[in-house]
Amino acid sequence: MDLYEYQGKELFKRYGIPVSEGRLATSPEEARAAAEELGGQVVVKAQVLTGGRGKAGGVKLAEDPRDAEQKARDILGLDINGHVVHKLWIERASDIAKEYYLSITFDRGEKKPLFMLTTQGGVEIEQVAEESPDALARLHVDALEGFQPYQGRRLIYGAGIEDPDEQKQVLAIIGKLYRCFVDADAMLCEINPLIVTPQGEVKALDSKFTVDDSALFRHADVAAWRDTSAADPLEAFAREKGVTYVKLDGEVGILGNGAGLSMSTVDVVVVAGGKPANFCDLGGGGSAEGVVDALEVITRDPQVRSIFFNIFGGITRCDEVARGILEALDRIEINVPIVVRLDGTNAEEGRRILADAAPPNLYVEPTMLEAARRAVELAK
Ligand code: GDP
Ligand code: MN
């Protein structure tokens, strides 16, 4: 689960990481009131779950409450990389002398949390990694040993932070960020930029925070922050149904069992010259109920012109999937052709069930590639 900047900053604050005071606003009037309460210059920031807000015009300085109201009017409703702005974070403006970058995430290769620190903050970190990799200090933490202060010092020297007062503050922030990362079951905590003010104060000016979905049961307060309005309505509906679903922008609806097969199905549809409309994983069970739910989700997408049902039976039994498909056809109106490929456990029985029922608009193909070609052709 990705957190909004203001939510991430709320967690930072709980761990003693310095952030600026701010208020949430959903209208220009609220933005004005927030600016009045905060006093002085404020920054009006779009709250959307995507980066690059600054470049897209979603972060603006305002001189006074009236200006804040105007800037809020400009930003609300803005489309930033496909995310429409409904919420604003109004924050007391900071003077910036330097922009650093600090993050902690998982390095899957090393199977360890990884800190990254550079004095070249404010820009995309990928750019720093590519153009000046030496400027990016990287450090792995052993999860069992935990974070040790010497590691923080190593990071600071690695990044080339020389001012002793800055070193002290950044060191403290690194330690607090590690606690925050571990306690929140985070996948990513990123501060870009981590600023130094002209007075020498170090603080987090932005937050990118991802919490592991599988750990949300331990964090009821964070889970309650989930904002279903921001997500794609279809994805929200899928979550309600317990279906693993990601909306894509093509025409061929995809349903596979298991994440690996579903990913391969996405690939093979592209190989066959088509564009996948979604990724949908039926999971390992493949019960009739699961099939009905998944088809209900996929067919709600008006862009779907055909459906490719790709099943490799292991634990999943193809006869059960076939019955699920027939039951779904009974229960919900499906107006697009469905192409089915069944292989593995009880595949023959599954195919026989489908052949006996012979529903219109259902095609059974022997291989994955042939099924993909057929589904792509039918989507035209
Ligand atoms: P992002 O573009 O989505 O990463 O949003 P950020 O929160 O990082 O803001 C983008 C940029 O706006 C920052 O890198 C700063 O240069 C600038 N900015 C944000 N807040 C302030 C502020 O309080 N004062 C000043 N002077 N600039 C700010
Ligand atoms: Mn940023």
pLDDT tens readout for residues 353-362: 999 999 999 9
3-state secondary structure of 114: strand
pLDDT, one tens digit per residue, over 43-90 is 999 999 998 999 999 999 999 999 999 999 999 999 998 889 999 999
CA 366 from centroid of its chain's CA atoms: 36
Out of 4, 6, 100, 101, pick the active-site residue.
101
- Residues, CB-to-ion distance under 5 Å, ligand 2: 192, 206
Q: Which amino acid is at 239?
A: R
Q: Is 7 within 8 Å of 209 (Cβ atoms)?
A: yes
> Does the Cβ of 125 fall within 6 Å of ligand 1?
no
Compute, in angstroms, the gap from residue 154 CA to the centroid of ligand 2.
24
Out of 69, 190, 320, 365, pick the active-site residue.
190
Ligand 1 pocket test, candidate residues 12, 45, 205, most atoms within 8 A of CB: 205
Task: Kindly indicate the confidence band of residue 236, based on its pLDDT and cuts at 50, 70 and 90.
Answer: confident
> Does the Cβ of 59 fall within 6 Å of ligand 1?
yes
Cβ of 325: how many Cβ atoms within 10 Å?
28
The pLDDT of residue 204 is above 90: yes
Burial of 125 (C-beta count, 10 Å sphere; 0-12/13-18/19+): middle
- The closest ligand to the CA of 40 turns out to be 1
Q: Is 307 within 8 Å of 255 (Cβ atoms)?
A: yes
Ramachandran assignment for 79, one of left (phi > 0), alpha (psi -120 to 50 degrees), beta (any other): beta
For residue 20 the two structure tokens come to 């600026």
Task: Kindly indicate the confidence band of residue 253, based on its pLDDT and cuts at 50, 70 and 90.
Answer: very high
Q: Which is more confident, 286 or 259? A: 259
The mean pLDDT value for 339-359 works out to 94
Compute, in angstroms, the gap from residue 233 CA to the centroid of ligand 2.
27
Compute, in angstroms, the gap from residue 122 CA to the centroid of ligand 2.
6
Report how far residue 219's alpha carbon sits from residue 122's, in angstroms, rounded to the nearest whole number.
30
Report how far residue 362's alpha carbon sits from residue 305's, in angstroms, rounded to the nearest whole number.
13
The pLDDT of residue 327 is above 60: yes
For residue 347 the two structure tokens come to 């595949």
> Distances from the Cα of 369 to the Cαs of 166, 250, 274, 308, 373, in angstroms?
59, 18, 12, 11, 6
Task: Kindly indicate the confidence band of residue 370, based on its pLDDT and cuts at 50, 70 and 90.
Answer: very high
> Does the Cβ of 205 fall within 6 Å of ligand 1?
yes
Rank 130-134, 187-191, 220-224, 332-336 by mean pLDDT and report only the highest: 187-191
> Does the Cβ of 53 fall within 6 Å of ligand 1?
yes
The pLDDT of residue 13 is above 60: yes
Q: Which is more confident, 70 or 293? A: 70
**Closest to 343 in 3D by CA, of 319, 376, 378:** 319
> Does the Cβ of 96 fall within 6 Å of ligand 1?
yes
Across the chain, what does the average pLDDT equal?
Answer: 93
Please tell me the predicted confidence (pLDDT) of residue 49: 92
> Does the Cβ of 51 fall within 6 Å of ligand 1?
yes
**Ligand 1 nearest atom to the CA of residue 93, by list position:** 23
Q: Is 277 within 8 Å of 336 (Cβ atoms)?
A: no
**Closest to 62 in 3D by CA, of 30, 79, 39:** 39
Task: Kindly indicate the confidence band of residue 145, based on its pLDDT and cuts at 50, 70 and 90.
Answer: very high
Please tell me the predicted confidence (pLDDT) of residue 284: 62
Compute, in angstroms, the gap from residue 71 CA to the centroid of ligand 1.
15
Compute, in angstroms, the gap from residue 297 CA to the centroid of ligand 2.
34
Q: Which is more confident, 211 or 130? A: 211
Please tell me the predicted confidence (pLDDT) of residue 46: 98
Per-residue DSSP letter, 4? P
> Distances from the Cα of 264 to the Cαs of 114, 257, 271, in angstroms?
30, 11, 10
The pLDDT of residue 133 is above 90: no
For tokens 């603006």, the residue is: 60
190 carries an active-site annotation: yes
Maximum distance among all alpha carbons in the chain? 79
The mean pLDDT value for 89-112 works out to 96
